[in-house]
A and B are shown apart, each in its own frame.
Chain A
Amino acid sequence: DAGVIQSPRHEVTEMGQEVTLRCKPISGHDYLFWYRQTMMRGLELLIYFNNNVPIDDSGMPEDRFSAKMPNASFSTLKIQPSEPRDSAVYFCASWASWDTQYFGPGTRLTVL
C-alpha cells in the first residue's frame, strides 16, 4: 500500500480564496482524521470520520472550514474563504481500530 496520500503538498493562496485539500486513506481503514499543526497550537484534531460518516467536528475552528468523505477512499477539507491565520500544515491520517494511525505527508498551506 502506498500509505496515506495527500495533495497538494504545498499550497500558496491569497486571502479570500477557496482552498481544497485532498486525502486518500489506506485501503481497509475505517477511520479518517484531519489534523492541523502550527508552532503555536501544536497538533490539533479538526474532525474525524468513521465509515465515511463525520463523528466529531468540534475541532473545526470556524464555519469557513468544512470536510467531506464521499466514499471510503477519498476525503476533502475545504476552507472558504481562507485567511492568513489558516496558514499551517494540514495532516490526514487513517486508522483501523486494530492498528495504529498512519499519517500522510501533510499539505503546507500558506495564505497571503
Chain B
Amino acid sequence: AQSVAQPEDQVNVAEGNPLTVKCTYSVSGNPYLFWYVQYPNRGLQFLLKYITGDNLVKGSYGFEAEFNKSQTSFHLKKPSALVSDSALYFCAVRAPSGGSYIPTFGRGTSLIVHP
C-alpha cells in the first residue's frame, strides 16, 4: 500500500527566510507526487506536481519541490517566505496505474511565517 509521511506537524519560519516542508513517500513503481495548500476556511488548492522529467518542479506562488528517488522524498521549498504563505500544506502520492491509482494524502504540515 502507498503512504505519505509529513514528519513535522508545524514549521515555523521568519519572513524572508527560506522554508522547507518535508514529505517522504512509499509507492510501488514510479510515483506521481503532488503538493496542495489549504488556507483557512478554504478547500485544498493544487500547488505543483511531479510526474516525470526534471527532479526540480516549479509551481505556484514561487514554490518548488525536489524529487529525490533514492531518499523517496519530495520536499517543498521556497527561497523567501512570506507571511501570506502561512497555511496547511499537504503532500500526496499515487501510482500511474493499478491498485494505488488513487492519491494518498499526508496528514498535513502547518506552516507559520512570522513577520
Contacts and interface: CB of A to CB of B under 8 A. Distances in A.
A106 to B, nearest CB: 5
Chain A interface main SS type: strand
A104 B41 CA distance: 11
A98 to B, nearest CB: 10
B34 A100 contact: yes
Contacts of A91: 43-44
Interface of A: 4, 42-43, 45, 48, 56, 91, 93, 97, 100-106, 108
A100 B43 contact: no
B107 interface: yes
A101 B103 contact: yes
A103 B44 contact: yes
B25 to A, nearest CB: 16
Nearest to A4: B43
Given A45-B102, A101-B46, A105-B42, 13 more contacts: A4-B43, A42-B107, A43-B105, A43-B107, A56-B102, A91-B43, A91-B44, A93-B44, A101-B34, A101-B44, A102-B46, A103-B45, A106-B43
9 closest residue pairs by CB, A with B: A103-B43, A103-B44, A42-B107, A100-B46, A105-B43, A43-B105, A106-B43, A104-B43, A91-B43
Interface string B36-64: 10000111111001000000000000000
